[in-house]
Amino acid sequence: MRRNEQVAKFAEENAGDGRAGEAFLRGLLGDPLGVAAEVAAEQKAVKEALEKAAAGAKKARKVLTARYDLEFPEM
Protein backbone atom coordinates (compact mmCIF):
# COMPACT_ATOMS: atom_id res chain seq x y z
CA MET A 1 0.00 0.00 0.00
CA ARG A 2 1.31 3.44 -0.88
CA ARG A 3 2.10 5.85 1.93
CA ASN A 4 -0.58 8.40 1.07
CA GLU A 5 -3.17 5.62 0.80
CA GLN A 6 -2.05 4.30 4.18
CA VAL A 7 -2.44 7.74 5.80
CA ALA A 8 -5.85 8.27 4.15
CA LYS A 9 -7.06 4.84 5.25
CA PHE A 10 -5.91 5.49 8.83
CA ALA A 11 -7.68 8.87 8.92
CA GLU A 12 -10.86 7.47 7.40
CA GLU A 13 -11.05 4.48 9.74
CA ASN A 14 -10.49 6.58 12.86
CA ALA A 15 -12.75 9.53 12.04
CA GLY A 16 -16.25 9.82 13.38
CA ASP A 17 -18.10 7.88 16.03
CA GLY A 18 -17.67 4.41 14.57
CA ARG A 19 -14.39 3.67 16.28
CA ALA A 20 -15.66 4.99 19.62
CA GLY A 21 -18.75 2.80 19.37
CA GLU A 22 -16.60 -0.21 18.56
CA ALA A 23 -14.38 0.55 21.57
CA PHE A 24 -17.42 0.82 23.84
CA LEU A 25 -18.89 -2.47 22.68
CA ARG A 26 -15.59 -4.31 22.87
CA GLY A 27 -15.12 -2.90 26.38
CA LEU A 28 -18.46 -4.36 27.40
CA LEU A 29 -17.41 -7.69 25.92
CA GLY A 30 -14.18 -7.81 27.95
CA ASP A 31 -11.67 -6.21 25.58
CA PRO A 32 -11.39 -2.68 26.99
CA LEU A 33 -8.05 -1.75 25.39
CA GLY A 34 -8.35 -3.67 22.12
CA VAL A 35 -9.29 -0.72 19.91
CA ALA A 36 -6.73 1.55 21.56
CA ALA A 37 -3.98 -1.01 20.95
CA GLU A 38 -5.05 -1.42 17.32
CA VAL A 39 -5.11 2.34 16.73
CA ALA A 40 -1.69 2.72 18.37
CA ALA A 41 -0.24 -0.03 16.16
CA GLU A 42 -1.74 1.53 13.02
CA GLN A 43 -0.48 4.97 14.03
CA LYS A 44 3.01 3.59 14.62
CA ALA A 45 3.03 1.93 11.18
CA VAL A 46 1.94 5.16 9.49
CA LYS A 47 4.57 7.17 11.39
CA GLU A 48 7.31 4.71 10.42
CA ALA A 49 6.28 4.85 6.76
CA LEU A 50 6.37 8.65 6.77
CA GLU A 51 9.76 8.72 8.52
CA LYS A 52 11.09 6.25 5.94
CA ALA A 53 9.85 8.49 3.12
CA ALA A 54 11.46 11.56 4.72
CA ALA A 55 14.77 9.71 5.11
CA GLY A 56 14.61 8.66 1.46
CA ALA A 57 14.05 12.27 0.40
CA LYS A 58 17.06 13.42 2.43
CA LYS A 59 19.19 10.66 0.94
CA ALA A 60 18.05 11.55 -2.59
CA ARG A 61 19.00 15.19 -1.99
CA LYS A 62 22.51 14.21 -0.90
CA VAL A 63 22.98 11.86 -3.85
CA LEU A 64 21.76 14.43 -6.37
CA THR A 65 23.90 17.19 -4.86
CA ALA A 66 27.00 15.00 -5.07
CA ARG A 67 26.21 13.74 -8.58
CA TYR A 68 25.53 17.11 -10.19
CA ASP A 69 27.75 19.30 -8.00
CA LEU A 70 24.75 21.53 -7.42
CA GLU A 71 23.00 22.17 -4.14
CA PHE A 72 19.50 20.72 -4.27
CA PRO A 73 16.86 22.24 -1.96
CA GLU A 74 15.55 20.40 1.07
CA MET A 75 12.32 18.51 0.57
Render pLDDT for 8-18 as a digit per residue (tens, 0 to 9): 888 888 887 88
pTM exceeds cut of 0.75: no
Amino acid sitting at position 64 = L
Each residue of 22-52: pLDDT tens digit? 889 999 999 989 989 999 999 999 999 889 9
Cα dihedral: 22, 25, 30, 34 (round 10): 10
Residue 75 near residue 61 (C-beta atoms within 8 A): yes
Helices and strands, counts by H and E, the chain: 3, 0
